[in-house]
């Protein structure tokens, strides 16, 4: 059975294993709670957290433009929360547009695998997305830098990747989120 077509997204907290080893499990759990709160507060109605993956999340968005702008807002919110919460909230994000297969509430198959491989290529604080997602809709307020075709583990063909960033010409800061207020 197929899920609806949409953006499959993976996030990954950078340095989580080392952070857990040095700061301990209690601080690691606090870090994960902050991550989940940020993402839940920014998710639009058509999106959902598919599952938690240790220090990362799998997300699904029905709208391509909303996916990209929300993910960029997540990166901004993580940076702000890192300062306020005094936590190393470095996250990298990979996203792909497709029609993954559904297994219960989980998403599996080629399109999910592509998104999982894209996050592996992303740097801390970076949103990388496939050309398939880049070509969906009119992404207003977003600038794209072409990275080019990238061969990724387990994939037969290279995937054309783009770095997405908030357009400084169109940027409106996100409102302070409840967990970030003094």
Which of 165, 97, 101 is CA-nearest to residue 127? Answer: 165
Which of 142, 108, 110 is CA-nearest to residue 128? Answer: 142
- Please give the pLDDT value at position 170: 58
CA–CA separation, 118 vs 129, rounded Å? 7
- Please give the pLDDT value at position 82: 80
pLDDT in tens, 45-81: 989 999 999 899 999 999 999 999 999 999 999 988 8
pLDDT in tens, 92-125: 999 999 999 898 888 999 999 999 999 999 999 9
- Please give the pLDDT value at position 86: 73
Q: Alpha-carbon Rg of the chain, whole angstroms? A: 16
pTM, 2 dp: 0.87
Which domains are present in the chain? 6-180 (3.30.70.1230)
pLDDT band per the 50, 70, 90 thresholds, residue 181: very low
Q: Does the structure show a pLDDT above 90 at 177? A: no
Query: Nearest-5° angle of CA 137, CA 133, CA 16?
Result: 130
pLDDT in tens, 138-174: 888 899 999 989 888 888 888 999 999 988 765 555 4
């Amino acid at each position: 059975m197929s899920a609806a077509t949409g953006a499959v997204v993976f996030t990954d907290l950078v340095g989580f294993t080392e952070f857990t080893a040095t700061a301990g499990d209690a601080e690691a759990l606090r870090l994960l709670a902050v991550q989940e709160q940020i993402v839940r507060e920014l998710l639009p109605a058509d999106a959902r957290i598919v599952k938690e993956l240790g220090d990362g999340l799998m997300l699904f968005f029905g709208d391509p433009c909303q996916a990209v702008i929300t993910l960029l807002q997540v990166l901004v919110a993580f940076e702000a929360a890192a300062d306020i919460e005094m936590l190393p909230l470095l996250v990298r994000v990979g996203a792909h547009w497709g029609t993954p297969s559904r297994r219960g509430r989980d998403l599996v198959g080629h399109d999910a695998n592509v998104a999982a491989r894209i996050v592996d290529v992303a740097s801390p604080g970076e949103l990388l997305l496939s050309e398939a997602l880049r070509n969906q809709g009119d992404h207003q307020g977003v600038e794209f830098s072409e990275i080019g075709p990238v061969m990724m583990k387990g994939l037969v063909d290279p995937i054309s990747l783009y770095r997405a960033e908030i357009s400084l010409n169109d940027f409106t800061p996100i409102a302070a989120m409840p967990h970030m207020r003094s």
